[in-house]
Structure 1
Amino acid sequence: MGAGEIRAQVGRVLGHCRHIRPRPSPGKGRLPPVGLSLAAMWLSPGARLSQIDRMLKPVLIALSVLLSLPAATPVEAQSRRPIDISNDSGGNVLETIQRRNQLQRSGRQVRIRGYCRSACTIYLSLPNACLDPKARVGFHAPRLPGTKIIPPMVGDIMGQFYRGEIRRRWFASWQYSLDMQVLTAAEYRRLDPQIKICR
């Protein structure tokens, strides 16, 4: 796959955020300097993904943190019944972060059951989450849909939600490997002692 195709694939991934647009400069209706720089690099045939990576990484990480913060006024749960997340194979990372935020605001217990893979694993560090004793957890590098291409920055965003030895292993190797790293609930707890095991 050529550089142009890779750039197009990354563009489609970042397109999930197309509803977030930079505000124009007051009275000018133009993109701010950073926006112009990014646009120029993206449209330039000679632009390197590493340059875009360096400029966007802090922005996307900051965005992921903001998306994960609970609302100032917690939403009252209509029911105290637990929320079950069962056999979740993951999906779009930013959408999963938004879902994580909703689960935290709910105030209800979140039970991770069956298998939990890929983006689903960011639910495990929720303060109101527990892991079923028979559950299995799987980690692998994020990739562009339908390809084996590992997009820049997405692994760093996911890593902000991990703890302990899980976090260390993720940043050291797991985020670069397409092979699934599968853990039982007991194995996961040894690497992240803060996890609660469901009763």
Structure 2
Amino acid sequence: MPRIINAQKLVRTVALALLIGSAAMAQEAGTLIIQNDRGGAIGARLIAIAQANSSRTRIELRGRICYSSCTLYLGADDICVSPDTVFGFHGPSRNGRPLPDAEFEHWSQIMAAQYRAPLRDWFLKTARHRITGYYRLTGAQLVAMGYAPC
């Protein structure tokens, strides 16, 4: 049975959507739908994920794309992915510029902690080393790695 999210939580979710950036978000009873999201700040994403987890909100990643920090939603407790969505992965940077080694390692580990194995292992071995552009995986590939389909 879907859980109803109260108005205060809905206002916080909308505020987070504005904070996060260009994500197209829709709120249904107990479900947050993320569509065509090109990314944003890691910290803002982690806050949104923590909020969704604490309110037991289901997150559905749909639409054409989920790039950059949008992929961190894969760390949510109740997540599903559309097999047709393309997910774009790259390593942490500061406005597209490389980070100092210690910072790069720190943020790479934070990002990787949001992914399940084998995605986490692939990210640490391969994707985090790309700073510009994306390594792309489809939702179908993520489903094959153990993520639930929407």
TM-score (norm 2): 0.72
In 2: Cα distance, 1:162 partner to 1:175 partner: 12
Q: Deviations over 1:87-121 (max 9, x none)?
A: 11111111110111111122232110121111111
Q: 1:150 aligns with which of 99, 103, 110?
A: 99
Instruction: Please identify the structure whose Cα radius of gyration is greater.
Output: 1
In 1: Cα distance, 2:135 partner to 2:99 partner: 16
Structure 1 109/175 Cα, relative in aligned 2: closer, same or farther at 3 Å? same
Tell whether 2:74 aligns with 1:124.
yes
Q: Deviations over 1:16-63 (max 9, x none)?
A: xxxxxxxxxxxxxxxxxxxxxxxxxxxxxxxxxxxxxxxxxxxxxxxx
- The answer to which structure, 1 or 2, has the higher relative contact order (CA under 8 A, 6+ apart) is 2
* Counterpart in the other structure of 1:197: 149
Q: What is the letter of the counterpart of residue 138 of structure 2?
A: T
Question: Which protein is richer in helix relative to its size?
Answer: 1
In 1: Cα distance, 2:141 partner to 2:84 partner: 11
Tell whether 2:12 aligns with 1:101.
no
TM-score (norm 1): 0.55
Q: What is the letter of the counterpart of residue 174 of structure 1?
A: A
Q: 1:186 aligns with which of 134, 140, 144?
A: 140
RMSD: 1.8
Question: Which protein is richer in strand relative to its size?
Answer: 2
Q: What is the letter of the counterpart of residue 196 of structure 1?
A: A
In 1: Cα distance, 2:97 partner to 2:143 partner: 30
Tell whether 2:96 aligns with 1:112.
no
Unaligned runs of 5+ in 2: 7-27
Q: Which stretch of structure 1 is more off in the superposition, 130-139 or 78-87?
A: 78-87
Kindly tell me the number of residue pairs found equivalent between the two proteins: 120
1:33-112 superposed matches below 5 A: 77-78=5-6, 80-112=29-61
In 2: Cα distance, 1:95 partner to 1:161 partner: 14
- What is the aligned-residue identity percentage? 26
In 2: Cα distance, 1:163 partner to 1:81 partner: 23
In 2: Cα distance, 1:95 partner to 1:120 partner: 10
* Counterpart in the other structure of 2:20: none
Contact 1:150 1:176 in 2 (8 A): no
In 1: Cα distance, 2:115 partner to 2:91 partner: 14
* Counterpart in the other structure of 1:167: 120
Q: What is the letter of the counterpart of residue 117 of structure 1?
A: Y
Q: CA deviation at 1:156?
A: 1.4
